[in-house]
Structure 1
Amino acid sequence: MVLKNLNYPLDFKFKITTLASDFNITDRNGNYVAYVRQKMFKLKEDVIVFSDESRTKELFNIKANQWIDFNASYMMTDLVQGKKFGRLARRGMRSIWKAQYDIIDENDNPIYQINEDNGWVKVFDSFIGEIPILGMFTGYFLNPSYTVKDNAGKEYFRLKKMPSLIGRRFQLERLIDIDDEDESLVILSFLMMVLLERARG
């Protein structure tokens, strides 16, 4: 199962009416790409990607390999074809300053990296967020972005957090063309990363 013929940019928009971390992925025309639901009350992250909000068709599953997520990796399974698709791995200590993840294919080869573009955004967000009243509005002007590069440093995608009061919308741009299967792997990696980074604050 691969996600094909996508019209960028893609919007990741979190729902505010549920306790779970649910969000829709839609294309530039508002058409569904996927609906993402993180299972609640799990020691290890467990995410299901559905075709849409009706949740009748499961496309992918993403599961953590351990319950402490500092050095966890997240295995992605194609539920339509019943096979491992690849995994996302956080770079441990190097992710404290700036978020850094490796995107690894089904043969366990690191093929792309996700890097937070500016680590100072997170620092300022944490600092200003403690200031009464002003801290309520950091979501409008302190918005991180993340870039996907291959091993040669070529840039393929950029994800930006869009201005909002509660930080519930992200937008994904494709910078250059990419193989369909790699494209699906990158999108799955980004949606898992968004869940992880939102949980970290």
Structure 2
Amino acid sequence: MSNFNFPLYFQFKISTFHNDFTIKDSENRTLFYVRQKLYKLKEEIMIFADESRSEQLYGIKADRWLDFNANYTITDARTNETIGKIGRKGMKSLWKANYNAFDSAGIEDYLIKEDNAWVKVGDNLLGEIPILNILTGYIFNPSYSLYDKRENVLLQLHKKPSFFGRKFTLEKLADINPEDETRLILCFMMMILLERERG
């Protein structure tokens, strides 16, 4: 799948025990339905064509147990072929989220970085204050940018003001190789699940 109609909208469901969310395009068409498997020693998510979950398109799975530096392999569920990987960039991600994106051959070709680490700090601090902590989803809204090898910003994901951090928007800022577009959207899917766990 390529030629997406940007911006794309990520919306988490709050009526389920699973970490589920839907991705829709600018015309409100469902592109993907994402479900994270719970209680797994290795992180694993499944990406379906829609909420019926009748057709799995992709899968993402960690390469090791409960490890901060795990890499996540993205596979095409229909062919079982690896189409890429994403992984946290070591200790740098403790302060500010940094993720490397790799192609099917394991070559790093893109980088996702959190734009402002202080937003995360403010969110965590306010989150510790009773009553006021319910406002964090409206006050602190991080964003993440994807860079190519020339440090051009191609995509940017913004958290929108909402309770429970439910809504995100992915905007396209520059042309992307159509062959990479789906893989990079899948990388953002995995990244946002991991970042939501961080708080």
Q: Residue type of the partner of 1:108?
A: G
Counterparts of 1:26-105 in structure 2, within 5 Å, are 26-105=24-103
* Distance in structure 2 (CA, Å) of the matches to 1:151 and 1:69: 27
Alignment of 1:164-183 (within 5 A): 164-183=162-181
State the alpha-carbon separation in 2 of the partners of residues 89 and 64 from structure 1: 9
SS at 2:164 equivalent: coil
Aligned equivalents of 2:67, 2:181: Cα separation in 1: 25
Once the 2 structures are TM-superposed, how far is the Cα of residue 80 of structure 1 from its aligned partner?
2.1
Cα RMSD (Å): 0.9
After superposition, give the CA deviation of every residue in 1:69-128 in whole Å (9 maximum; x if it has no partner).
211000000112321001001012110110000000011110000000000001111111
Cα separation, 1, equivalents of 2:80 and 2:61: 14
Matched letter for residue 150 of structure 2: A
Partner of 2:190: 192
TM-score, length-normalised on structure 2? 0.98
- What is the identity percentage for the equivalent residue pairs of Structure 1 and Structure 2? 50
Aligned length: 199
Distance 1:108 1:4 in 2: 21
Match of 1:138 in 2: 136
| Divergent runs of 4+, >3 A | none
Alpha-carbon contact 2:43-2:66 (below 8 Å) kept: no
Shift of 1:179: 1.5
TM-score of the pair, normalised by structure 1: 0.97
Q: Secondary structure at the residue paired with 1:132?
A: coil
Amino acid at match of 1:168: R
The one-letter code sitting in structure 1 at the alignment partner of 2:122 is F
User: SS of 1:96's equivalent?
Assistant: helix
User: 1:154 maps to which residue?
Assistant: 152
Secondary structure, in 3 states, of the residue corresponding to 2:53?
coil
Which of the numbers 97, 105, 108 marks the counterpart of 1:107? 105
Give, in whole Å, the separation in 2 of the partners of 1:5 and 1:180. 7
